[in-house]
Amino acid sequence: MPVLETKYLTKEYRMGEVTVSALRGVDFSVERGEFVAIMGPSGSGKSTLLHLLGGLDPPTDGEICLAGQMLSELNDDQITRFRRRKIGFIFQFYNLIPTLTAAENVALPLLIDGQSKRHYRERIQDLLALVNLADRADHRPDQLSGGQQQRVAIARAFVNQPEIVLADEPTGNLDSRSGTTILELLRKTCQELGATILMVTHDARAASYADRIVFLQDGCIVHQLEDNGNGIEVQDIMSILAELEL
Ligand SMILES: Nc1ncnc2c1ncn2[C@@H]1O[C@H](COP(=O)(O)OP(=O)(O)O)[C@@H](O)[C@H]1O
Ligand SMILES: [Mg+2]
């Protein structure tokens, strides 16, 4: 069974007289352990899709089933709890709490969930080691580089052992070397933690790290490209983008 499945996922934004169709009946699924990239031009619905999948905004029509749970069956409180326990988020601008240390930022989702500190001290250390920041546990965000801050954000996204991690342009604010480190790290978390990742990006090089790329245009899936075992070539992604005139 896929960890994530959408059926006819539809989102319309009504603004006075005007209705914008951001997603038009998207059918799509993600298998456990998959690293999927979503590509598409600005305004194609990528962020809307992540917001809906993360239960941050309800769809206008259609269904989302995540880890066997239909999101539409949950009320607001239940969806908040479900999100905390089952979903990890990585944002373009890291979204760390400036007054907390790296270790405290990583622990935050567990603290919010009411878990006791002594139960997870070891897990925080393991995660900081996984992202190569074991020696920066007591640093605050302003004492870390952009790439290091994003690595803290990755450790935080995985701390509650989520069913899926949703990442919106995680390398969008980084130089290419730091971006490469982040992408390699995301690959590694899939392999070593058996994590499932859905990453939005407009960067073909970033998308080439994924197992599968889903191309969105005007709120519809217009193409998919899958790794046949040798990795996805940036050149193949560029050809598809050119063919689709994206
Ligand atoms: N909160 C909102 N209110 C009204 N329109 C929105 C809102 N969010 C997104 N849109 C519109 O929905 C479409 C898809 O936007 P978005 O999902 O942000 O695309 P992307 O992330 O691919 O750039 C765009 O036309 C955008 O203007
Ligand atoms: Mg966006």
Tell me which residue has its CA closest to atom 7 in ligand 1. Answer: 13
Residue 134: alpha-carbon gap to chain centroid:
23
Cβ 19 under 6 angstroms from ligand 1 = no
Q: What's the gap in Å between 42 CA and the centre of ligand 2?
A: 7
Query: Residue holding tokens 């995660």?
Result: 127
Cβ 47 under 6 angstroms from ligand 1 = yes
Q: Which two tokens stand for residue 124?
A: 């925080």
pLDDT tens digit sequence for 210-245:
999 999 999 999 999 999 899 999 999 999 999 998
| pLDDT in the model for residue 54 | 95
Do strands 197-200 and 212-217 pair parallel, antiparallel, or not at all (unpaired)?
Answer: unpaired
Q: Ligand 1: which of 15, 48, 50 to mutate, most ligand atoms within 8 Å of CB?
A: 48
Mean pLDDT of 137-152: 96
Average pLDDT, the chain: 95
| pLDDT in the model for residue 204 | 95
Mean pLDDT of 15-33: 96
Q: Is 17 exposed, middle or buried (0-12, 13-18, 19+ CB in 10 A)?
A: exposed
Please tell me the number of the ligand nearest to residue 169's CA. 2
Cβ 156 under 6 angstroms from ligand 1 = no
Tell me which residue has its CA closest to atom 26 in ligand 1. Answer: 43
Mean pLDDT of 16-37: 96
pTM: 0.94
| pLDDT in the model for residue 178 | 93
Q: Is the pLDDT of residue 117 over 80?
A: no
First to last CA, the chain: 32
What single-letter DSSP state applies at residue 8? Answer: E
| pLDDT in the model for residue 191 | 87
* pLDDT band for position 115 (cuts 50, 70, 90): confident
Q: Is the pLDDT of residue 116 over 90?
A: no
Q: Is the pLDDT of residue 110 over 80?
A: yes
Dihedral pair phi/psi, residue 198, rounded to 5°: -120, 115
Cβ 13 under 6 angstroms from ligand 1 = yes
Q: Is the pLDDT of residue 133 over 90?
A: yes
What single-letter DSSP state applies at residue 98? Answer: T
Who has greater pLDDT, 117 or 15? 15
Which CATH number among 3.40.50.300, 3.30.420.40, 3.90.1150.10, 3.40.50.1820 corresponds to the domain 32-45+75-243? 3.40.50.300
- What residues does each domain of the chain span? 32-45+75-243
| pLDDT in the model for residue 245 | 84
Tell me which residue has its CA closest to atom 16 in ligand 1. Answer: 45
